């Protein structure tokens, strides 16, 4: 039986998720034994550029017409499309101020030449094409990538924790930064999967994995406000990685 054909692609992003894949050093030989990597520019310039793929994994957000065209072309040739990392899943840091006037921002940075740039407000992949599965994280966790590949090869959907970072934080018996140190910690509304990496180091969660599926930002906002946090500060923190709306 032929191996599934896989492509790994990057749109506008920092390439951190692709780097995580390359850092799976102990598993790379097993991976190439199981899958036929047809396109992975970060690892090899020998890409096929066309032809059908069983699985495409796409990192980065869509910020240019070129990104959007590439993404549509990838979608067209792929049976399954996986969004890789918070930028691809939610828009990420590039989408932080996406409601801001783009032409004005380009003019501020590039002056008159701003008009020449192919640049528009960051969009997540699902806003442009159908996405089959998401692997979130900034960057993704290596274990999540490997378990996703294993699940997809078995014909199963990849599974991830469906609870917030607070749950992992409590499992690690951390003292709560929000309650005990009165810090703006986004753990209550952020998807788990990082083993509460930041609160474990006494650093508040900034929500880099994006919102947890059944989170309730309104009630968390009320809780923050009850503790005397400034609404604008909370809003800025919440929208760092994903478009979590908080009226100001």
By CB under 6 A, name the binding residues for ligand SF4: 165-166, 169-170, 174, 176-178, 185, 187-188, 190, 194, 196-199, 205-209
Tell me the closest approach of the beta carbon of residue 217 to ligand SF4, in angstroms.
14
The percent helix, strand, coil of the chain (3-state, each to 5) is: 40, 15, 40
| Preceding amide of 173 cis, omega within 30 | no
- Among residues 185, 182, 180, the alpha carbon closest in space to that of 196 is found at 185
Nearer residue to ligand SF4 within complex by CB, 131 or 242: 242
| Smallest separation, CB 47 to ligand SF4 (Å) | 31
Sheet arrangement for strand 53-59: 36-40, 5-10, 53-59, 78-84, 133-135
In this chain, which residue has its C-beta nearest to ligand SF4? Answer: 187
> Nearest approach, Cβ of 204 to ligand SF4 (angstroms)?
6
Our CB check for ligand SF4 shows the closer of 78 and 190 to be 190
CB closer to ligand SF4, 37 vs 196: 196
Residue 219: how many CB atoms within 10 A of its CB?
11
If the CB atoms of residues 86 and 119 are measured against ligand SF4, the closer one turns out to be 86
CB of 185 to ligand SF4, least distance (A): 3
For the chain, how far is it from start to end, CA to CA, in angstroms? 57
Determine contact, residues 85/24, Cβ cutoff 8 Å: no
């Amino acid at each position: 039986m032929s191996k599934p054909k896989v492509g790994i692609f990057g749109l506008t992003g920092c390439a951190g998720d692709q780097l995580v894949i390359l850092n799976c050093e102990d598993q790379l030989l097993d991976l190439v034994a199981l899958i036929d990597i047809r396109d992975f520019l970060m690892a090899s310039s020998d890409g096929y550029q066309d032809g059908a793929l069983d699985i495409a994994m796409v990192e980065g957000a869509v910020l240019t017409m070129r990104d959007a065209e590439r993404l549509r072309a990838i979608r067209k040739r792929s049976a399954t499309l996986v969004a890789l990392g918070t930028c691809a899943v939610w828009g990420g840091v590039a989408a932080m101020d996406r409601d801001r006037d783009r032409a004005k921002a380009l003019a501020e940075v590039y002056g008159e030449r701003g008009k020449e740039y192919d640049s528009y407000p960051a969009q997540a992949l699902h806003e442009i094409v159908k996405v089959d599965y998401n692997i979130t994280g900034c960057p993704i966790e290596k274990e999540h990538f490997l378990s996703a590949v294993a699940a997809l090869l078995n014909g199963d959907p990849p599974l991830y924790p469906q609870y917030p970072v607070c749950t992992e934080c409590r499992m690690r018996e951390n003292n709560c930064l929000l309650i005990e140190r009165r810090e703006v910690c986004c753990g209550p509304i952020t998807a788990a999967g990082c083993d509460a990496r930041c609160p474990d180091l006494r650093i508040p969660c900034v929500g880099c994995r994006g919102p947890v599926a059944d989170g309730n930002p309104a009630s968390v906002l009320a809780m923050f406000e009850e503790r005397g946090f400034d609404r604008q500060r909370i809003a800025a923190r919440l929208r760092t990685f994903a478009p979590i709306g908080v009226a100001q």
